[in-house]
Chain A
Amino acid sequence: MADSKASENKAKIDIKNINVFYGEKQVIKDISLTIKEKIVTAFIGPSGCGKSSFLRLVNRMNDYIHNFRKEGDVLIDGKDIYAKEVKVEELRQEVGMVFQKPNPFPKSIYENVAFGLKIKGVTKRQILDEAVETSLRQAVLWEEVKEDLYKSALELSGGQQQRLCIARALAVEPSILLMDEPASALDPISTAKIEELIFKLKEKYTILIVTHNMHQAGRVSDRTAFLHLGKLVEYGKTKNIFTSPKQDLTEQYITGRFG
């Protein structure tokens, strides 16, 4: 865990007094925090504590939930992403997302990775070919699929599909990557591969990862935020959170007394 490097990095995402409501129900209560660039920030907490909703604020995927309402600000590089002038499609090309269950398109491996670029308007075959290879290499999947790029993505194993989804997200060259429990549907070996991958990726990308698995958070992240019932209980260096937590609630969660 490169903690020392993390302290020097500048702020990438600023969350200021965020409250999130789905209709009458309030799922996030007055959370403020700053996420530094090019480190891995993990969000842990029991089910229903608002981690996924929080993550989805950053790429505005909550917009699709019809009774979603938010108060407060989310700033990326100092700019409010909910401002009227913001084109949400461009935001999502800056902020990529990997979902809990691998969801490749029912198309070939090549088509999956190239899709993000094609909708940006890239048509030249050579550019697409290079981008597909680069992304698949970054996702540590290239060697396994380079002979069969036109095979259907659905024929890959679960772990490979998830790495494909990561490659797909990386192809549009975002600066931030949101990962919502990316390994929870996978076997231990695939999980290990994904964690290694995350470790490599943080040299280039700012990564936010939601995880149910505390040990995973401990392994891959530089900073950890512990959420409970929509509130931010504690946020700090991962090492400190897990070895000397400041809040009682944090300690109880870490030691498995609830959640």
Chain B
Amino acid sequence: MNKVQFNRLKDHLFQYFGVACTLFGIILLAIFIGSILKKGLAGIDFDFLSSLPSRKAEKAGILTAWTGTLWIFGLTALFSIPLGVATGIYLQEYSKQNWFTSLLEINISNLAGVPSIIYGILGLEIFVRTLHFGGSLLSGALTLSLLVLPIIIVATREALRAVPDTIRQAAYGLGATQWQTTWHQVLPAASGGVITGIILALSRAIGETAPLIVIGALAYVPFVPKRPLDEFTVLPLQIFNWISRPQHGFIVNAAAGIIILLLITFLLNGIAAFLRYRWQKKVNW
């Protein structure tokens, strides 16, 4: 076999390898989803979605859990998006590049890797105890906001960095101030990357369990939270609680809960991806 044939063989082998890896991931995911559906689909009905949890498996529902998850999602988005994007904009467009900002950049990246339970301990001390918010939705959302802030900041900075400087020059040349340039031209051009960062951040937030346990989210919450200072539970926590029960009925409930959690995750990601598509179409990058 000569050199050209050998290179072509390597090319084909790599393609097959790539396809195999992709299929591997897809097949694993399909097996997982299939087995969950088998275990839990039967358990999903209107009663399940609208009932409060109960000690009896047949009566137990995930109403409090999914309302809690949506509350957490909403509040975390409310705190982390403006703060994270604004910080990213400031660090990338406004602050001078010196040793201090480099140090800041390294630290923010490091924070993204800190185990989530440590954020839970931080939240416990600051929000639950010192600020007296208790084991509430507010404490949970603030804690998770701290957790996901680095993700949004880093994604925002990267997205802004990718916008060519010629765009800024053109805007300044027309008499725009730095803020007008950033808000009307640079940020829209960076929107794809920023929204991706937000999606990743919020997806992470709604799957988190450990920090919420630490700040006091309860496993058994027989009421629907109505205000930010109410106590709460979330889907992952409820699922975890049910799995540790011996009765078979709770296994079905847990599997059903997992399906609901997956549906919410896919739905949220789908909406965000759609928004990103629409926004990018407007920007026409």
A106 within 8 A of B: yes
Tell me the bound Cα distance from A169 to B175 in angstroms. 10
> Which residue of chain B is the closest to A90 with respect to CB atoms?
B175
B101 CB contacts on chain A under 8 angstroms: none
Identify which of B172, B174, B283 contacts A168 (C-beta below 8 A). B174
Chain B binder among A12-20, A71-79, A97-105:
A97-105
B72 within 8 A of A: no
B187 to chain A, nearest CB (A): 12
A96 CB contacts on chain B under 8 angstroms: 173-174
Chain A binder among B61-69, B162-170, B195-203, B270-278:
B162-170
A44 within 8 A of B: no
Tell me the bound Cα distance from A152 to B189 in angstroms. 13
Chain B residues within 8 Å of A, Cβ to Cβ: 164, 166-167, 169-177, 180, 184-185, 188-189, 282-285
A107 within 8 A of B: yes
A81 within 8 A of B: no
A64 within 8 A of B: yes
How many A-B pairs have beta carbons closer than 8 Å: the answer is 73
Asked if B285 and A119 sit within 8 Å, CB to CB, the answer is no
Asked if B167 and A169 sit within 8 Å, CB to CB, the answer is no
Q: Given A61-B169, A99-B169 in contact, is the A107-B284 Cβ separation under 8 Å? A: yes
Tell me the bound Cα distance from A106 to B283 in angstroms. 5
Tell me the bound Cα distance from A89 to B184 in angstroms. 16
Asked if B166 and A99 sit within 8 Å, CB to CB, the answer is yes
Tell me the bound Cα distance from A168 to B169 in angstroms. 13
Interface of B is mostly: helix
Interface of A is mostly: helix
B284 CB contacts on chain A under 8 angstroms: 106-108, 152-155
B175 CB contacts on chain A under 8 angstroms: 89-93, 116, 119-120, 172
Interface readout for A115-158 with B: 1 if CB under 8 Å, 0 if not?
11011100000000000000000000000000000001111000
Tell me the bound Cα distance from A61 to B167 in angstroms. 14
A224 CB contacts on chain B under 8 angstroms: none
Identify which of B170, B172, B177, B180 contacts A105 (C-beta below 8 A). B170
> Which residue of chain A is the closest to B181 with respect to CB atoms?
A119
Asked if A115 and B171 sit within 8 Å, CB to CB, the answer is yes
How many chain A residues sit at the interface, stated as a range, is 20 to 34
A176 to chain B, nearest CB (A): 12
A118 CB contacts on chain B under 8 angstroms: 184
A168 to chain B, nearest CB (A): 7
Q: Given A61-B169, A103-B167, A106-B285 in contact, is the A89-B177 Cβ separation under 8 Å? A: yes
A59 within 8 A of B: yes
B170 CB contacts on chain A under 8 angstroms: 99, 103-105, 165, 168
Q: Given A105-B185, A106-B284, A106-B285 in contact, is the A119-B176 Cβ separation under 8 Å? A: yes
B192 to chain A, nearest CB (A): 11
> Which residue of chain A is the closest to B97 with respect to CB atoms?
A66
A116 CB contacts on chain B under 8 angstroms: 174-175
Asked if A115 and B184 sit within 8 Å, CB to CB, the answer is yes
A108 CB contacts on chain B under 8 angstroms: 284
B219 to chain A, nearest CB (A): 49
Tell me the bound Cα distance from A92 to B171 in angstroms. 10
18 pairs from A and B in contact (CB 8 Å cutoff):
A61-B173, A92-B172, A92-B173, A93-B175, A96-B173, A96-B174, A97-B173, A99-B169, A99-B170, A99-B173, A103-B167, A107-B188, A115-B184, A116-B175, A118-B184, A119-B175, A119-B184, A153-B284
A105 to chain B, nearest CB (A): 6
A61 CB contacts on chain B under 8 angstroms: 169, 172-173
Asked if B166 and A119 sit within 8 Å, CB to CB, the answer is no
